[in-house]
Amino acid sequence: MKINVSIIGLGLIGGSLGLALKRNRNVHVTGFDNSYGTMQEAYRRGIIDTIAASIHKVSEEADVIIFATPVNTTVRLLQEVPAWKLKDHVIISDTGSTKGPIMNAATTLQEHGITFIGGHPMTGSHKSGVSAAREYLFENAYYILTPSEQVKKEQIQKLQELLVPTKGKVVVMNAEEHDRMTAIVSHFPHLIASSLVGRLSEQQESQPFVRELAAGGFRDLTRIASADPVMWRDITIQNKDELLKQLDGWTDEMARIRKMLLENDPEQIQNFFSEAKNYRDELPISKGALFTTYDLHVDIPDHPGIISEITKILADEQISITNIRIVETRTDVFGILVISFQTIADRNKAQLALSEETDYSSHIV
């Protein structure tokens, strides 16, 4: 039996979702995007089966409609949905990273007897747009569903079954819990990373060389500060209340650390770092709330052509890399060459390939 899925918004997430869902041959994907060129590329790449003539046409035959649009756009469109021509048992979902505003907007749908189940695939890429869409983007990543209390279990199960081809880890929770946890592990760390970069920028004038020293561990620590400012402006506004709670807790923690420094007790300071190290080392190695690349730190001899030798080994093994860079400041970094991969499997395969060459040793941090 054919399942008609309509995806509104064919960027990185919407495009990747189309590719992943089409692993199920019974799924027919119709797509709509404000850019006709984007829709054409999605059709040409096999991301969608049908181009919708309009946003209203995308809904008529759909068993499932998924909004893969920015949260503010999704909120606006949800207000229009009751006027659309829909199937009786259609399920509507989204991919937004903050659920509170979306679930509030979806109450209008519930009043009209339309099923809405919030969704958030917790993954991403260093690239954006439909050209960056990959069917494996969701593999081993958490895919959160946030149904309201009125949604029937069988409707949640239908959406879960539809998402099986994504190979994501589907978890059901309420919207408040989702926004609280993403504030802790994703949204607030972005604020901290950006503030650390701000501190560096402020002190560069008096210490110009500090920028060069920041090329090592500091650059890795603050990588997420390079994310899209417009997207993070919206997320910060949408999840303001949870972020303020995290900021209050952070302020208290900084006060405790200041007190620890004033007391200058070696045992207390060591315990502080030991507890952090132990907890961090026990964190699961999988895709979490923050977009992560999978890095391999490689010790290499210093001679001309060494980087091309490394990339040739990886190319011969058909291993794709997302980034490669030389680390000059190595106080807290293992290996002079850092190679980033899209998946754990690619990183592990690369480590095995490089381990067969006696000149190279590699470390997973």
List the domains of the chain with CATH numbers: 3-173 (3.40.50.720), 178-281 (1.10.3660.10), 294-363 (3.30.70.260)
**Is the separation of the CB atoms in 243 and 236 below 8 Å?**
yes
Question: Given a cut of 50, is residue 160 above it in pLDDT?
Answer: yes
Q: Position of tokens 């941090």?
A: 365
Average pLDDT of the residues in 41-56: 93
pTM of the model: 0.78
Q: What is the pLDDT of residues 184-217, one digit of tens each?
A: 999 999 999 999 999 999 888 888 888 877 766 7
Bridge partners (DSSP) listed for residue 64: 5, 91
* Closest among 83, 108, 189, 104 to 146, alpha carbons compared: 104
Question: Given a cut of 50, is residue 334 above it in pLDDT?
Answer: no
What share of the chain has pLDDT > 90, as a percent?
57
CA gap 158, 64 in Å, rounded: 10
- Which pLDDT belongs to residue 260? 97
Question: Given a cut of 70, is residue 302 above it in pLDDT?
Answer: no
Q: Position of tokens 């190595």?
A: 330
Q: What is the pLDDT of residues 111-144, one digit of tens each?
A: 899 999 999 999 876 677 898 888 888 988 899 9
Average pLDDT of the residues in 17-29: 96
CA gap 365, 355 in Å, rounded: 16
CA gap 314, 317 in Å, rounded: 5
Q: Give the pLDDT band (50/70/90) at residue 365.
A: low
CA gap 42, 26 in Å, rounded: 19
Average pLDDT of the residues in 276-299: 74
3-state per-residue secondary structure call for 339-363: EEECCHHHHHHHHHHHHCCCCCEEE
The string over 48-64, giving b where at least 16 C-beta atoms fall within 10 Å of a residue's C-beta and e elsewhere, is bbbbbeeeebbbebbbb
